[in-house]
Amino acid sequence: MLRTQTLYDRQIALFFLSVVPFTKFFTLPSLTAGISGNDMWISAILNLVLDIVTVLIVLSACKKSNVDFFGLIENIFGKVGGKIVLILYAIFFLLKGFIPICEQKDYVVLTMYLALPKIAMFLPFFVLAVYLCCKRLRVIGRLSDVLFIPTVIGFVLLMALTIPNLEMGALLPIGLSGAKNIFKASYSSLNWYGDCVYLLFFIGRFKREKRSNLKIIIAYIVAGLMVVVFSLFFYATFSSLAFRKKFALTEISKYTTVINNIGRFDFIAIFLILFSSAFATIMPIYFACMLLQRALPLKKHYIYPLILSLLIMILMFGLNEYFASLESFFTGIAGIIFLIFSNLLPIVLALSTGFRVPNNKRYRGDKDNSIRKRDGEINDNVGVDNGENFSIVKGGKQNEIQKD
Amino acid sequence: MKFKKTKFIALCLVAVFVFFFSNDFGIIDIEKTAIITAVAIDITDNGEYEVTAQIAVPEATDANTENKKAQISGTGSTVASAVKNIGDISGWFPSLSFCNIIIVGNKVAQDNVIKVLDYFSNTLRMQDSALVILSEKDAKSVLTTSTPLDNISSFALQKIIYKNPGFDNDITHTDIKTFCVGYYSYTKSAIMPMVKIIKETEDNDSVNGGGGGTNSGLGSGSASSESGASSGGGSSSSGGGSSGDSSSGASGSGNESSNSNKGSTLFDARTTALFYDGKLVGSLLPHQTLAYNMLKSSFAGTTIEVTGVKQGLKTANYLLTAIRTTPKIKVFADENSVNLDLSVNVYCRLADENTKESGNKYLNSSTLPYEVIERAEEQLTDAFSELIEISKQTGCDFLELKKQIYRHQHKYYAKYKDEFFNALNVSVNVKVSGQK
């Protein structure tokens, strides 16, 4: 059995299944439908192909990795340069997380609190965010095991309720909106996609088995297909109205006769999906905290979660009136930022280094460089020796991670 | 200590989830809430929208089994402001979550009806799966009419429109989403059922709706309730024949013990209103609605009246029950024209006939006489031809013919979209069969 701070490949696969699809079920379908119309599903496929290619390259290139993401950055850019890169990545994650959090806020406040829609209703989300961001990576692994079940049940139930009202002919003719609009919709969606970047944090931190890469890739593909199926069903349900249906998640299943007769029991599925998406939305804050803790370590590990959650909350409240402008920024020029940090940089890092650093050049760090000074927490470098023993360098001391 | 801390955190987490995933903060006082079951929209003489809400008043008693209701009207320059005014003048928060019917007044439909429906399509306060109905006259009168079926007239309307399996499929139904999808599509065409209030004579105050017989006969003359039904469609019913007194699509209102309405009233929703670009451009008569349903929805169990069957020197009427219908609408375009190939196979069973010697023909295994088959095919062919003719005259593509070209032969769509119906060559082929 591995030491508790490491993950299993199964957990990473389930992580992607539980995290990748659900942030894309809120306002993204209407956004892409507004640009590429009945070809919105092609735009989704393009985004997913980009992500899957990134996952493939990173996983393939890192088969013999002997260093994790933090170690690699520090080895390439040095101590100060590495910190700057990590801070930049943290900013990227905050940007990546902002719009999905805002749209989830809108969803919860506007669809569930119709009588009194107040932003304060969403405050508990940030309590959950602070709590989760204080947890270690292995907790995320365990969480993935748990989230997988509601994820699958919720998605299957929702799609099953949608099927009777589908008019798949609405998707025809294929390619009508033109390549320009299809690519434009893909570009505008970059904020929501690019979850492959999370893989960087798992490199060197999970036990590689015979078919680890295959499991992770298949999970990512399945998660991607869930998004494509949702896009197809969404357009087949609303066709010419799709671009106006801001909250696809609530709207898509309610036209079934059984819902008309019995009531909105589809909210069971919606709640299950919301359960997963709440965690999925927190993930960018989580990794931003991890990056900042690594770049600028603090003794109190809850400080960064608190600061970042408060920051997002204040920005969300403060910029509420400017949301339309923000959305236009995030779906416009900011797309380049998401493309670079989510896809291009991981590919370049993986291809150029293979997450492998020569032992004689390995940057060891020092005591100040250790991240969370708690027992069992991963520190500077996590290496793999012949695929058998993991070694951790902690403050210059090497501990063996034993494997059963 | 650590265990207590963990328990405390777990409890906090549970509390967070309860707040996050529940609507406890959204609780509102039921006494101050108007549960709107239906909304009627009219335009006043000064051009304002008048929204009448039918409100179910919940009572904490089981002494009275009848639903209590109230009707409150509000006016405003937009539909939303009129709804708001209902709350202002009543003190009730107008909750539209349970509103299942929107009735549009005829005057509203003369202008672009999307001006009023767009609000209901966009708002999250109401399900856009609510039915949309056009009133023959003003919408408010539909809500204020009492029926013996239910004290709340909108519930009675729902009974007519949402029929259980086994009833005749002689009414179209459209919800807000479907109507808006049609309006915003490239065909700009949409339909909705038109409801009429039929006042019967005072001495005939029995309930006639339901099983009083059927008047869904294709090619039969219009029912007594049909006066002035067809507007602008230019359609004419083909064939002659008898007309029933009531219909399966009509809800009766007569022996109201608890109500002061002496005269009977009927709701008839078998007429279908046609909209192009949001405006009312015509309507389908009941027998045309039946033909439309035969093409577009599940038709099994619906009865077809075949009238004027000549058997020697006599004429007789038959009632057939459709067991299976297989409609096929194929539209294909070429450089010169658009061709429509409409074929329907109907497998029927004899349900009734008005000949003197019926013998054992009521048996399921009885074969359909040749004359009946021939006459039924003739009536159905006429009805389908009428549908296409109405489509041509109104421009409302309710048969979704353009859609087929748009989706499957898009290269011809630009060529024919403006003169689609002029370029249409129609071939109708109906085959009726029974036990062989």
Average pLDDT across chain B, whole number: 76
The residue range of the domain holding B51 is 30-137
Structural domain includes residue B286:
no
pLDDT at B14: 77
Residue B327: which residues within 8 A CB-CB, separation 6 or more? Answer: B294, B295, B296, B342, B343, B344
- Between the CA of residue A180 and those of A175, A183, B147, what are the distances in Å? 10, 5, 57
Report yes or no on B391 lying in a domain: no
Please indicate, yes or no, if residue B35 is contained in any of the structural domains.
yes
For residue B24, what is the nearest residue in chain A, using CA coordinates? A113
What pLDDT score was predicted for residue B261? 46
Of B347, B345, B425, the residue nearest B381 (C-alpha): B345
In DSSP terms, B95 is beta-bridged to B35
Which of B19, B25, B184 is nearest residue A241 as measured by Cβ atoms?
B184
Mean pLDDT of B178-207: 78
* Cα dihedral A125, A129, A135, A141 sign: positive
Cβ–Cβ contact A109 with B under 8 A: no
Per residue in B352-370, pLDDT (tens digit) is: 877 666 555 555 556 788 8
| pLDDT more than 90, % of chain B | 14
Query: Is the residue at B91 inside a domain?
Result: yes
Q: Average pLDDT for consecutive 10-residue bins of chain A (404 residues)?
A: 63 89 89 92 94 91 79 85 92 93 85 67 86 89 87 89 87 89 94 92 81 90 93 91 84 74 78 88 93 90 91 89 88 93 90 72 45 39 34 38 36
Given an 8 Å threshold on Cβ–Cβ distance, is A241 in contact with B122? no
Contacting residues of A for B100, CB less than 8 Å apart: 260
Query: What is the tens place of the pLDDT at every residue in B38-64?
Result: 899 999 888 889 999 888 766 655 555
Domains of chain A, with CATH numbers?
A: 7-365 (1.20.1740.10)
Least confident range of A291-300, B132-141, B389-398, B415-424:
B415-424
Position B32 pLDDT exceeds 90:
no
Number of domains in chain B: 1
Examine residue B17 and state whether it is found in any structural domain, yes or no: no
E strands present in A300-395: 381-385, 389-394
Q: Which residue has the higher pLDDT, B254 or B273?
A: B273
Question: Rounded distance, CA B14 to CA A404, Å?
Answer: 35
With beta carbons under 8 A apart, name residues in chain A contacting B9: 131
* CA–CA–CA angle B55, B136, B388 (5° rounding): 125
Instruction: Choose between B93 and A62: higher pLDDT.
Output: A62
Residue-level pLDDT at A62? 79
pLDDT in the model for residue B141: 87
Q: Report yes or no on B408 lying in a domain.
A: no
CA dihedral of A94, A100, A103, A108, whole degrees rounded to 10? -100
Q: What distance in Å separates residue A166's CA from the closest CA in chain B? A: 12
Closest chain B residue by Cα to residue A260: B129
Q: What is the pTM of this model?
A: 0.80
Packing angle between helix A40-61 and helix A212-238, nearest 10 degrees? 170
Give the model confidence (pLDDT) of B133-184 as tens digits. 999 888 888 888 877 777 778 888 888 887 766 677 788 888 888 899 999 9
The two tokens of residue A10 are: 């199964």
- pLDDT recorded at residue A330: 92
Tokens of A318: 């403060």
Which CATH number covers residue B45? 3.30.420.40
More confident residue, A261 or B286: B286
- The DSSP call for residue A22 is G
Q: What phi, psi does A62 have (nearest 5°)?
A: -105, 25
Least confident of A283-292, B237-246, B304-313, B399-408: B237-246
**How far is the alpha carbon of B384 from chain A, nearest alpha carbon, in Å?**
24
What is residue B250's predicted lDDT score, i.e. its pLDDT? 46
Q: For chain B, say whether A262 makes contact (Cβ under 8 Å).
A: no
Closest Cβ–Cβ partner in A116, A238, A244 for B122? A244
In a domain, B73, yes or no: yes
Residue B262 pLDDT > 50: no
Sign of the alpha-carbon dihedral angle for B406, B409, B415, B418: negative
Domain presence at residue B199:
no
Amino acid (1-letter code) at residue A325: S
Q: How many C-beta atoms surround the C-beta of residue A96 within 10 A?
A: 28
